[in-house]
Every structure is written in C-alpha cells, then in structure tokens.
Amino acid sequence: MKFSEMAYKRPDLEKVETDFNALLVKFDAAQNAQEQTEILGKINELKNEFTTYASIASVRNSIDTTNAFYEAEQEFFDVNEPLIKDLHIRFYKALGSSKFKDELQKKFGNQLFKLADVSLKTFDTSIIEDLKEENKLGTQYTKLVASAEVEFNGQKLTLPALSAFMESTDREVRKKAYIANQGFFAAHEKEFDEIYDKLVKVRTTIAHKLGYKNFVELAYYRMARTDYNAAMVAGFREDVLKYVVPLAQKLRERQHKRIGVDKLKVYDLSHNFNSGNPKPQGSSSEIVAKGQKMYSELSSETKEFFDFMVSNDLMDLENKKGKASGGYCTMFPKYKSPFIFANFNGTVGDVDVLTHEAGHAFQCFESRNFQVEEYYWPTMESCEIHSMSMEHLTYPWMNLFFGKDTDKYKFVHLSSNILFLPYGVAVDEFQHIVYENPDMTPAERKQIWLQVDKKYRPWMDYDGIDYLERGGFWQRQGHIYRSPFYYIDYCLAQLCAFQFWSKSQKDFSAAWNDYLRLCKAGGSDSFLGLVKLANLQSPFGKGVFEPLFKELETYLDSVDDMKL
Ligand SMILES: [Zn+2]
C-alpha cells in the first residue's frame, strides 16, 4: 500500500485499554501454551495497530510541521506515552509469570523474555510524573536548539543553514561560521546548563525510586542491554584509546598537511580537501534511480526491498518548506512497511541516506514477518550494525554516485568513521562520570568534559573560543540530553561494520551472506547473540581491535590523499 493511502484515525484509548486488559485476563486464564500463543498474536495485532497510527501521525507531522491536524495528533501520542508504556509493562508481567513459559520460550526464543524482564526493571507507576518531567526537559532542549537564529554575513540563519558555511573551503568563512554557531550555544549557556542539571537530577531520582545506586545501571536497562555492562564498555573505551586514538592522530596529521594550514583548529576538522568534499552527481530523483540500480545489483533481497520502497512511496527525501530537519527510518507494522525520511541537500549526506537509513529499512523489511513486534528491530547498537555496515557493503557501487570522486569518498568515509570513535567514547565516558556524580556543578561537568576530551582527542584545538575552552563543546550533542548513554551504540556497531568492511574486501559474497542472516534475525536475539550469528567477533573481545585497525591503516596508507 502506498503511504498516501494509509488511513489515519486517532486510537480510542479507552477501548485500547479495555481490549488490552481483556486479552491479558484471557492470557492468564489460558489452559495451554497454544491458547496463550493465539492470545499473544492478538495482543501483538493490537500493539501493531496502535503503533501504526502513532507512526503515521509522527511521519506526517514531520513531513509538514505546519499541519495543525497532525501536530495535535503527535501531541496526543506524546502525552499518552506513559499510559501505553504501562500497558506494555502489564503484558510483560503476564508473560514473565506465564504458566507455560517454557513452551513459549521454545516457540518465541529467550530474547522476548529477556526484553520483558529488562523492561520491568525500568518502570514503576511511582515514576510516571518524573518521566513526564524528563520528557518535558528533553523537549525544552530540542526547542531551544531549533529556535536558534544566528547573524552571519548580515543574514539571520538557522543552525542547519549555517552548517554549509562551516564546511567552506575558505578558512576565514568557516572560522567565522563556526564562531557564529558556538556563539549561539555560549549565549544560551545558562539555559543549557540548567536543562542538563535538571535532567541529571530527575534521572537520578528515578533511579533511586527504582532502587538503583545511580542512573548508570538503569540507563543500561533502559537501552535493553542484557549481555554487557558498564565494566565491559570501560574496557572497550580502553581499546579505543590504545588502538584507535594513535591512528586518528595520524589521520589528523595527514589532514593538517593536506589542507595546508599552520595548525589544525576546531573549525578545520570537517574540512578534508581544499578541492572540496566529494559530491554526489545528479538531481535527487537521479540519485534515487542510482540507488535502485545499486540495490537491484547487490542481491535479489535488496532489489525486492528497494522496489517495494519506491513503488509504495515509502521514502520522503526532498527538502521542503515546513519539513522537520534530519533523517530517520521508521515502520508501519500493520502494513509491514518501513519508511525513510530525509532532507536531501546535494551533499554526501544524500548518499548516506540511501545506504545508512536504507540499511535500517532493509533489516526491518527482512524482519517484518516475525510474530511479535519486539523482533521487528533489535536493540539500538545492533540496529546500527545494519545501517553502518550497509555503508561499507555498498562501496562497489559508489562510483555510480561519485564518479571520479569515488576514491576520495571512500577515503573520507573510512577516515571519518575512525575519527568518530574517539569522540563517541569521550561522550560515553563523560556521561558515566556525570551520572556517577550527580551533584557536580555545571562548571565541574565542563571540567570533566575537558579532561575526557583531551584524553581521546589530543589534537583538539579550540583556538581560544572562550565557551569551548571552558568545556562547553558537548552541549550541542543532543543525545547527551535526550538519549543518555545511547552514543556508545554507534561505536560498538562501528566495530562490527569495520569487520564487515574487512570481510567484504576478501570475500564479498561471504560478507553479504553473514549480513543478510543478521538482518533476517531482526531483534530475535541480544547484541552479542546477533554478533555471533553474523560471524563477527565481539567488540568486547580481546584481540579484535589490533588487527582490524592495522588493516584499516594499511589501506588508508596506500591512498595518496594529496592527489585526491
Ligand atoms: Zn542509524
């Protein structure tokens, strides 16, 4: 079904609740596993129906934020989220205490039960008001950033509009744009401090109410991490420090030499070549057509997937007035349809949408027939394996988009993924320290940022910009405010994606088969279970980093970047 034909109506919450509770009563009273399985199917249908309406409202709201109807619908879902959460919790409780748990586990696998358990660890009706407060503060942050208008060259610009100038090949322009951008954050520093302070406090309160020492352990459960903990993540960060930071430092030195500046400053970091960044060729419809060709050649499964997306209008890619910024992938479970949202702007980001977001959507498409919605997607770090690995597995088709700039594209892509890791773990370490010491003052938190940043990004030169020199850099990172502890997921997934890159260099079809198996498994296993299933090594294991980053270094060394 085409997206435009998907009907929307606001769910009748009272009816949803009554139906849900009636099914739960039947579930408890069922006489055998078969009966419970059937009721479970009905519960799943009910959840799918609700989620589908919520997704339709959210997508239509983001496509046209000026549409008052869908804005009100979006608000309806936001306000009622805790209530739905409560229904899910009731279901998970019933599932956990099922008389036929063993048989159900055989049928659905352990992961559903692990997810149910972990979900119960994150919720109690006593925290509903605190959760609302947390959501409100998150929205406050989003609104504050979205409201930004900065003076630049006599014009008032939004932050996304300014970012084009921040990547200018003219150093004076990008420096000025960068200072204007940071100027906004510096001007609102007190508000950013206050929002974050309140977030740290309310999350700590929630953790205490649920019986945790601090927010850290709860945060891991919220991310449904069932097979790794903070100590293992600390070990991962150590590996990044040991094996990635020196390579990243070397890449920064090459960049320094390549762009020929006296010293690499903070505003030079996204400037890779004086000849400009690689740009995809053609209009947005031509880029989509190239994407269709790429996926039709990659495999029969990707062909079926991408044709489905195109023929059902399941991608909204053009940048339009009133459209929300950014890009994402979501799903309408009732129609077994993924959906991709983006804002094409003629940069390399457009191709990233067709690889990264399409990687998410492809996995969802391959997992669409699972009997329970919990398995349509895995946990976040696993989701990012699909998307980030697709970016690497589509390298052989990048010439369609970049022509003679293809080597340049690959060089920038690989280097920037390596350079991301030190930043990613710095954000993670920062959050661990902050939530382990919730009473720190905003100034103390900024000091912590400076320490962590210096450790993982020794090349960082804030060029005397006061706000940054005092440790304000992290305040532009929305995840730190809205999705605590999420950032490490990208790093863990990148370690898996690099393994796919390495494997695809040696045996492409073996790499592809592993990838496909992973996508088909959806969320039916935990992170480390999926990693194993995909024939990957655990990012927490010993001996994973060293050979992988040696191989990446050898490849990057073989590229003469001065000639790109
Ligand atoms: Zn992603």
Distance 269 CA to ligand 1 centre (A): 22
| pLDDT the model gives residue 236 | 98
Distance 184 CA to ligand 1 centre (A): 27
Distance 119 CA to ligand 1 centre (A): 22
Distance 381 CA to ligand 1 centre (A): 9
Distance 307 CA to ligand 1 centre (A): 21
Distance 279 CA to ligand 1 centre (A): 21
d(CA 386, CA 414): 17
The tens place of each residue's pLDDT in the chain, 564 residues long, gives: 999 999 999 999 999 999 999 999 999 999 999 999 999 999 999 999 999 999 999 999 999 989 999 999 999 998 888 788 889 999 999 999 999 999 999 999 999 999 999 999 999 989 988 998 998 899 899 889 988 889 999 999 988 889 889 989 999 999 999 999 999 999 999 999 999 999 999 999 999 999 999 999 999 999 999 999 999 999 999 999 999 999 999 999 999 999 999 999 999 999 999 998 899 999 999 999 999 999 999 999 999 999 999 999 999 999 888 888 889 999 999 999 999 999 998 889 999 999 999 999 999 999 999 999 999 999 999 999 999 999 999 999 999 999 999 999 999 999 999 999 999 999 999 999 999 999 999 999 999 999 999 999 999 999 999 999 999 999 999 999 999 999 999 999 999 999 999 999 999 999 999 999 999 999 999 999 999 999 999 999 999 999 999 999 999 999 999 999
Distance 106 CA to ligand 1 centre (A): 31
Distance 56 CA to ligand 1 centre (A): 20
Distance 493 CA to ligand 1 centre (A): 10
d(CA 387, CA 354): 10
Distance 364 CA to ligand 1 centre (A): 12
Residue 231 has a CB neighbour count (10 Å cut-off) of 9
Question: Quick one: CA torsion of 127, 131, 137, 138, rounded to 10 degrees?
Answer: 150
Per-residue DSSP letters for 462-481? -TT-HHHHTT-GGGG-HHHH
Distance 51 CA to ligand 1 centre (A): 20
Q: DSSP letter for 337, please.
A: E
| pLDDT the model gives residue 158 | 86
Distance 494 CA to ligand 1 centre (A): 11
Distance 478 CA to ligand 1 centre (A): 15
| pLDDT the model gives residue 274 | 93
Distance 104 CA to ligand 1 centre (A): 32
Distance 328 CA to ligand 1 centre (A): 7
**What are the CA-CA distances from residue 227 to residues 115, 223, 224, 231, 541 (Å)?**
11, 11, 9, 12, 13
Tokens of 338: 């993924």
Per-residue DSSP letters for 248-269? HHHHHHHHHHHHT-SS--GGGT
Distance 533 CA to ligand 1 centre (A): 20
Distance 439 CA to ligand 1 centre (A): 33
| pLDDT the model gives residue 264 | 97
Task: Look at the block and give the residue holding tokens 């992170």.
Answer: 527
Distance 389 CA to ligand 1 centre (A): 10
| pLDDT the model gives residue 139 | 84
- The torsion angles phi and psi of 315, rounded to 5 degrees, stand at -135, 130
| pLDDT the model gives residue 227 | 94
| pLDDT the model gives residue 353 | 94
Distance 413 CA to ligand 1 centre (A): 15
| pLDDT the model gives residue 5 | 98
Distance 124 CA to ligand 1 centre (A): 30
Distance 370 CA to ligand 1 centre (A): 21
| pLDDT the model gives residue 299 | 98
Distance 538 CA to ligand 1 centre (A): 20
| pLDDT the model gives residue 320 | 85
d(CA 203, CA 196): 10
Within 150-206, strands assigned E span 150-152, 155-157
Distance 11 CA to ligand 1 centre (A): 29
Distance 345 CA to ligand 1 centre (A): 19
| pLDDT the model gives residue 160 | 81
Distance 387 CA to ligand 1 centre (A): 6
Distance 37 CA to ligand 1 centre (A): 33
| pLDDT the model gives residue 146 | 84
Distance 326 CA to ligand 1 centre (A): 12
Tokens of 224: 């449904």
Per-residue DSSP letters for 18-53? HHHHHHHHHHHH-SSHHHHHHHHHHHHHHHHHHHHH
| pLDDT the model gives residue 80 | 87
Distance 357 CA to ligand 1 centre (A): 6
Distance 341 CA to ligand 1 centre (A): 12
Q: Where would I find the H helices in 240-372? A: 245-259, 284-298, 300-311, 348-352, 358-366
Distance 388 CA to ligand 1 centre (A): 7
Distance 440 CA to ligand 1 centre (A): 32
Distance 390 CA to ligand 1 centre (A): 11
Distance 99 CA to ligand 1 centre (A): 38
Distance 358 CA to ligand 1 centre (A): 9
Distance 360 CA to ligand 1 centre (A): 7
Distance 327 CA to ligand 1 centre (A): 9
Distance 383 CA to ligand 1 centre (A): 7
Q: Are the C-beta atoms of residues 301 and 441 closer than 8 Å to each other?
A: no
